[in-house]
């Protein structure tokens, strides 16, 4: 075998149009250092260094090499990067080489050449498709053990174990008149025409240079230039136009409804040093008025025994390596094909110095032109023949070639043997119809070219060039221009057709012979493995087996064999699999159908899709204007929805319990101060505002006097409590509603929904003012004195300023609204000031209250204080299954109003049932014992599971003011159980807690403290 070992000898620098052979860079693969050139892909650089073995297959651990040159590569997957930048499963064909790149092979142990997993290959007869469904079932308990081994063997690459991705990702939203996807011959022409018609154009190209196939072939001339020169020039011209955005290294991976495209731009992946100011990738979210897809085509492999050996390559890929990177993939090659086009790849390699010893074509009559050229080059041909088996251990060494019957179903003669170190294969072309299909466009099987082509579109989109099955360059150009003109017109633009470039290209008949598997001459299931899906190790006989077992639908075959489900997403395997399936089912390919294409076109970075919405920006934290004060006071914080609220303020050496008890006592003995700014606040205005509230809340609102406050409960349409709060009438047509902290956004949505969709006739306007007001709640016997000390022009005496009313004025010179409402049961003022004065208000009150023993208290003390009073918290005493009646709050449900949300639902039979869960109080037998919240009550603590549960504890605290614990619970028929004893079994196995059912008002049941 004549292998060249010297890198330079492997390079043909005259032809290498995509690399700079004077810019050598070094990289490592599996720890060894190699040289490549700027512009290389990892695959081309490895081939240039004669490295062909790049990985091991998923299931059988067979040696695998580089088969393709683009996104369709199934075999050459490597891990790249170091530390937090480690990325597994990257196709070597898609890595732009940079200095210092570190790449490692995957799925092998201990080394690539000597892989223990290869033992699977030996036993492969026992592992056909779906074998695991048929075994590993006995004994049942062993499955987890088997599975452990299966899991370890599965998976491909390894994720980083340092876990922190040091890179940053960005997103951009953009609108364009016309988006062109793909910068090959067709795409460049479409973009040119669109741009010259004054449209705002985005041209996205996957590679770092435009040109596509123009870079790989050497037989297309445009306007007197070589194809790639024309591409470079045109791209440059486009990039300079103001109305054009040209994005190289950008993959359009998704095509959603209403021409919504998602594109991944790789910004720094190709750089050795990653500049700190640049994101690694940018996600473009684009709305396009018109889309032109020019995504090209992918060559199909042929299915024959041993077609997966390193050294077996797509013919077009070998030509790409030669012309773009100056690399000869071998020294002694054989082409096996079913079409004319691939012959030219073989000729190109032959002329560059790779001896093509034979061209094997399954057809008997290729075009005379290619036969003539082969003869002129002295290449032998075998017509009506195929490679029936390929041999070699870690690399292709020998093939068997045999004549086939006319239909290609069977052998028609003896096999000959040929030595070789390279096999070029070509089974025809697959247009890249993925994006068209993602956009819900239909596909049609083309009987002339034997491939799926786009048919009708669902979106404003057109496919042009090879992705439309128009492989002929001159036809592709025409199509592209026409499509661009059509798009311009559809956008209302004035379009003048540009002169088409002058193109000289060889005339090629692209029609392949439909042959989906080359027979091996052996009965089905025997002989070497003929791969359909290389990465997932799915063979032709696996597909046959699936059909034999009744898995006929293409989706069943896919799922049973896993064909098409690997990281190349079936780009090279789908059509061959369909062909074999159709043959096995005695059906036509279009009748068998195709699986749907979905986002993403190629595997897409998760980090990029997450973008910047992680870390601190995952969900912005909301804080109150007084937040800084709480922090400086050493408060502990609690998450409440998006808010961070002061939870309690421990003093030196204090435990949480001690701190909370101190705060709770102070609020009842002197005064406490709570930051209540997070409460939801909605400004409700309009002539129908009172009527609107009357329908939303369960109680009556029409007659509430101006300046007065009222507590309200709102129910969902199912009659269940959804939120509560105090709402105040500011004027006849103006109300200020408060909601729970966590419920604020949901309540506003709810109100808007009813207003907009059900009661559009009501004149009401809703505005969230949560963040416009800062609120300090001053509560306790000394509240009035402190407020007076702080200085206010509002008379505070109980007669002038009654409970449940609001006064507007000033506090210490700050404009304020004071609401006399109470969530503690003490004399209490909720002082609202414009948010910017929040801190001033807080510090003023703290200063004024100092001599009175004012104590800031947090949310935990607030919970205990209201718990002592038996006040509910929506979301704690309720969970969407609790009615106002269940809460013992029938008094708040009007029976006079004609309607309110939930009224009808509350009339249903089950709402009247006597065994509903109802809110009650609990006193533990041992007053010091606090029942854990969430514990469930039962009458008989000794019964075995399933235990008859009465319900659960919703709130539970130790009350320092009462000297015993207080709890509330929702218990079945609770209101009829006053005085009963219930038991709460404990999770940790300690004895059940015993408690008596009581009223929920534990402290000051008559409410005498409200007036101080």
Partner 1 sequence: MAESNIDRGVRALRDRKKHYSIFSLARQARNYHQGWQQAWRHAEPKAEYDAIIIGGGGHGLATAYYLASVHNMTNIAVIEKGWLGGGNTGRNTTIIRSNYLWDESASIYEHAMKLWEGLAQDLNFNIMFSQRGVLTIAHSEHELKEMSRRVHAIRLNGIDSDILSPEEIKKFVPIMNMDQNIRYPVMGGFLQKRGGTARHDAVAWGYARAADDMGVDIIQNCEVTGLRRQGRRIVGVETTKGLIKSRKVGCVVAGHSSILADMAGIRMPIASRPLQALVSEPIKPILDTVIMSNAVHMYISQSDKGEMVLGAGVDKYNSYAQRGSFPVPEHMLAAAVELFPVLSRLRMLRHWGGIVDTCPDASPIISRTDIDGLYFNCGWGTGGFKATPGSGHVFADLIANDRPNDIAAPYALSRFETGLLIDEHGAAGVAH
Nearer to partner 1 (CB atom), residue 128 or residue 834? 128
Q: How far is the CB of 868 from partner 1 (least distance, A)?
A: 19
Q: How far is the CB of 376 from partner 1 (least distance, A)?
A: 43
Residue 870 makes CB contacts below 8 A (sequence gap 6+) with 921, 968, 999, 1000, 1001, 1002
Nearer to partner 1 (CB atom), residue 161 or residue 273? 161
E strand or H helix at 899, and its extent? none
For residue 770, the SS3 value is helix
Separation between Cα atoms, residue 215 and residue 239, nearest integer Å: 19
Whether the CB-CB separation of 520 and 305 falls below 8 Å is answered with yes
Q: How far is the CB of 8 from partner 1 (least distance, A)?
A: 35
Measured CA to CA in angstroms, residue 384 lies from 369, 401, 583 at distances of 17, 10, 20
Nearer to partner 1 (CB atom), residue 140 or residue 376? 140
Q: How far is the CB of 66 from partner 1 (least distance, A)?
A: 19
Nearer to partner 1 (CB atom), residue 598 or residue 703? 598
- Category of 760 on φ-ψ map: left (φ > 0), alpha (ψ -120 to 50) or beta: alpha
For residue 149, the SS3 value is helix
Separation between Cα atoms, residue 696 and residue 667, nearest integer Å: 33
With b for 16 or more beta-carbon neighbours within 10 A and e for fewer, the 472-510 pattern comes to bbbbbbbbbbebbbebbeebebebeeeeebebebeebeb
Whether the CB-CB separation of 253 and 264 falls below 8 Å is answered with yes
Closest C-alpha among 468, 463, 475 to residue 500: 475
Nearer to partner 1 (CB atom), residue 495 or residue 543? 543
Nearer to partner 1 (CB atom), residue 250 or residue 449? 250
- Category of 302 on φ-ψ map: left (φ > 0), alpha (ψ -120 to 50) or beta: beta
Whether the CB-CB separation of 902 and 720 falls below 8 Å is answered with yes
Q: How far is the CB of 808 from partner 1 (least distance, A)?
A: 34
Q: How far is the CB of 872 from partner 1 (least distance, A)?
A: 15
Q: How far is the CB of 1003 from partner 1 (least distance, A)?
A: 22
For residue 972, the SS3 value is strand
The C-alpha angle with vertex 763 and arms to 759 and 765, in degrees rounded to 5, equals: 100
Nearer to partner 1 (CB atom), residue 270 or residue 552? 552
Alpha carbon 535 to chain centroid, angstroms? 24
Nearer to partner 1 (CB atom), residue 5 or residue 164? 164
Q: How far is the CB of 329 from partner 1 (least distance, A)?
A: 26
Q: How far is the CB of 90 from partner 1 (least distance, A)?
A: 9
The number of beta carbons lying within 10 Å of the beta carbon of residue 31 is 9
Alpha carbon 812 to chain centroid, angstroms? 52
Measured CA to CA in angstroms, residue 532 lies from 363, 517, 535, 545, 999 at distances of 21, 9, 9, 14, 74
Nearer to partner 1 (CB atom), residue 63 or residue 254? 254
Q: How far is the CB of 533 from partner 1 (least distance, A)?
A: 13
Q: How far is the CB of 11 from partner 1 (least distance, A)?
A: 32
Q: How far is the CB of 565 from partner 1 (least distance, A)?
A: 8
Q: How far is the CB of 89 from partner 1 (least distance, A)?
A: 4
Nearer to partner 1 (CB atom), residue 142 or residue 765? 142
Q: How far is the CB of 600 from partner 1 (least distance, A)?
A: 6
Nearer to partner 1 (CB atom), residue 517 or residue 670? 517
Whether the CB-CB separation of 67 and 423 falls below 8 Å is answered with no
Residue 377, token pair as written in the block: 């080059």
Q: How far is the CB of 740 from partner 1 (least distance, A)?
A: 12
Measured CA to CA in angstroms, residue 422 lies from 331, 345, 398 at distances of 7, 13, 9
Nearer to partner 1 (CB atom), residue 353 or residue 934? 934
Closest C-alpha among 946, 889, 873, 948 to residue 915: 948
Closest C-alpha among 323, 335, 359, 316 to residue 424: 335
Closest C-alpha among 709, 642, 710, 715 to residue 680: 642
Closest C-alpha among 495, 482, 464 to residue 185: 464
In the sheet where 32-38 sits, what is the strand order? 32-38, 20-29, 101-105, 77-80, 87-91
Nearer to partner 1 (CB atom), residue 44 or residue 605? 605
Nearer to partner 1 (CB atom), residue 506 or residue 612? 612
Nearer to partner 1 (CB atom), residue 619 or residue 999? 619
For residue 532, the SS3 value is strand
């Amino acid at each position: 075998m004549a292998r060249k070992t010297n890198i330079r000898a492997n390079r043909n620098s005259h032809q290498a149009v995509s690399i700079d052979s004077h810019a050598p860079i070094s990289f490592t693969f599996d720890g060894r250092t190699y040289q490549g050139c700027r512009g290389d892909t990892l695959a081309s650089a490895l081939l240039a260094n004669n490295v062909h073995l790049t990985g091991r297959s998923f299931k059988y651990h067979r040696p695998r090499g580089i088969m393709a040159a683009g996104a369709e590569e199934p075999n050459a997957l490597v891990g790249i990067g170091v530390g937090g930048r480690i990325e597994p499963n990257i196709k070597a064909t898609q890595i732009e080489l940079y200095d210092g790149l570190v790449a490692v092979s995957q799925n092998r142990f201990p080394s690539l050449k000597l892989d223990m997993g290869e033992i699977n290959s030996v036993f492969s007869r026992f592992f056909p498709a779906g074998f695991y469904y048929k075994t590993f079932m006995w004994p049942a308990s062993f499955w987890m053990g088997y599975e452990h081994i299966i899991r370890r063997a599965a998976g491909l690459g390894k994720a980083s174990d340092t876990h922190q991705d040091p890179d940053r990702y960005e997103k951009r939203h953009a609108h364009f008149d016309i988006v062109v996807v793909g910068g090959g011959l067709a795409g460049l022409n479409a973009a040119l025409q669109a741009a010259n018609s004054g449209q705002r154009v985005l041209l996205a190209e996957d590679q770092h240079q435009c040109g596509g196939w123009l870079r790989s072939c050497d037989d297309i001339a445009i306007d007197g230039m070589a194809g790639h020169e024309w591409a470079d020039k045109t791209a440059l011209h486009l990039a300079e136009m103001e109305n054009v955005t040209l994005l190289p290294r950008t993959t359009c991976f998704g095509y959603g409804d209403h021409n919504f495209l998602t594109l991944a731009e790789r910004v720094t992946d190709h750089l050795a040093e990653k500049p700190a100011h640049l994101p690694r990738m940018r996600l473009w979210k684009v709305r396009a008025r018109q889309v032109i897809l020019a995504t090209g085509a992918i060559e199909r492999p042929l299915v024959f025994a041993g077609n997966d050996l390193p050294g077996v390559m797509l013919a077009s890929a070998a030509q790409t390596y030669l012309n773009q990177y100056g690399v000869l993939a071998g020294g002694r090659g054989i082409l096996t094909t079913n079409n004319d086009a691939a012959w030219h790849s073989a000729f190109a390699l032959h002329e560059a110095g790779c001896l093509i010893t034979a061209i094997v074509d399954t057809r008997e009559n290729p075009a005379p032109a290619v036969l003539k050229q082969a003869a002129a080059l002295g290449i032998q041909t075998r017509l009506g023949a195929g490679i029936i088996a390929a041999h070699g251990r870690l690399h292709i060494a020998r093939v068997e070639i045999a004549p086939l019957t006319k239909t290609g179903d069977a052998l028609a003669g003896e096999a000959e043997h040929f030595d070789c170190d390279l096999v070029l294969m070509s089974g025809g072309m697959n247009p890249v119809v993925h994006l068209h299909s993602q956009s819900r466009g239909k596909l049609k099987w083309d009987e002339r070219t034997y491939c799926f082509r786009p048919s009708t579109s669902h979106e404003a989109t057109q496919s042009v060039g090879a992705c439309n099955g128009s492989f002929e360059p001159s036809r592709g150009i025409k199509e592209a221009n026409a499509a661009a003109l059509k798009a311009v017109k559809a956008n209302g633009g004035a379009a003048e057709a540009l002169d088409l470039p002058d193109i000289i290209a060889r005339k090629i008949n692209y029609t392949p012979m439909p042959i989906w598997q080359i027979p091996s001459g052996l009965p089905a299931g025997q002989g070497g493995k003929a791969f359909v899906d290389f990465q997932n190790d799915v063979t032709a006989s696996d597909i046959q087996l699936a059909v034999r077992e009744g898995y006929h639908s293409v989706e069943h075959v896919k799922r049973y064999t896993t064909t098409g489900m690997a990281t190349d997403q079936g780009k090279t395997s789908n059509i061959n699999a369909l062909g074999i399936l159709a043959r096995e089912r005695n059906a036509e390919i279009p009748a068998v159908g195709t699986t749907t294409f979905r986002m993403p076109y190629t595997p897409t970075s998760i980090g990029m899709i997450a973008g910047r919405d992680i870390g601190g920006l995952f969900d912005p934290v909301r804080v109150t204007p007084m937040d800084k004060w709480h922090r400086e006071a050493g408060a502990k914080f609690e998450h409440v929805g998006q808010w961070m609220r002061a939870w309690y303020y421990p003093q030196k050496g204090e435990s949480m319990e001690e701190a909370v008890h101190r705060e709770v006592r102070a609020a009842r003995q002197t005064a406490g101060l709570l930051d209540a700014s997070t409460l939801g606040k909605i400004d409700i205005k309009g002539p129908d505002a009172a009527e609107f509230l009357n329908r939303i809340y369960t109680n009556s609102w029409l007659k509430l006097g101006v300046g007065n406050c009222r507590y309200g409960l709102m129910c969902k349409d199912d009659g269940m409590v959804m939120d509560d709060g105090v709402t105040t009438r500011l004027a006849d047509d103006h109300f200020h509603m408060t909601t729970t902290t966590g419920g604020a956004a949901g309540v506003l949505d709810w109100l808007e929904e009813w207003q907009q969709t059900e009661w559009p006739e009501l004149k009401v306007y809703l505005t969230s003012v949560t963040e416009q007001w800062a609120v300090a709640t001053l509560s306790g016997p000394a509240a009035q004195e402190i407020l007076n000390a702080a200085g206010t022009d509002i008379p505070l005496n109980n007669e002038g300023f009654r409970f449940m009313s609001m006064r507007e004025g000033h506090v210490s010179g700050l404009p304020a609204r004071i609401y006399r409402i109470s969530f503690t049961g003490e004399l209490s003022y909720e002082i609202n000031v414009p948010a910017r004065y929040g801190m001033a208000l807080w510090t003023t009150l703290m200063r004024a209250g100092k001599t009175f023993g004012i104590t800031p208290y947090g949310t935990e003390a607030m919970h205990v204080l209201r718990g002592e009073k038996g006040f509910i918290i929506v979301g704690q005493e309720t969970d969407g299954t609790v009615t106002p009646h269940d809460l013992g709050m029938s008094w708040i449900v009007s029976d006079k109003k004609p309607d309110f949300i939930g009224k009808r639902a509350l009339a249903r039979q089950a709402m009247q049932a006597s065994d509903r869960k109802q809110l009650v109080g609990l006193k533990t037998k041992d007053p010091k014992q606090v029942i854990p919240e969430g514990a469930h009550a039962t009458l008989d603590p000794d019964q075995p599971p399933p235990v008859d549960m009465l319900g659960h504890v919703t709130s539970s605290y130790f009350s320092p003011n009462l000297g015993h614990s207080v709890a509330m619970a929702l218990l079945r028929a609770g209101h009829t159980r006053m005085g009963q004893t219930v038991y709460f079994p404990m999770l940790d196995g300690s004895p059940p807690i015993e408690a008596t059912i009581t009223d929920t008002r534990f402290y000051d049941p008559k409410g005498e403290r409200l007036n101080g």
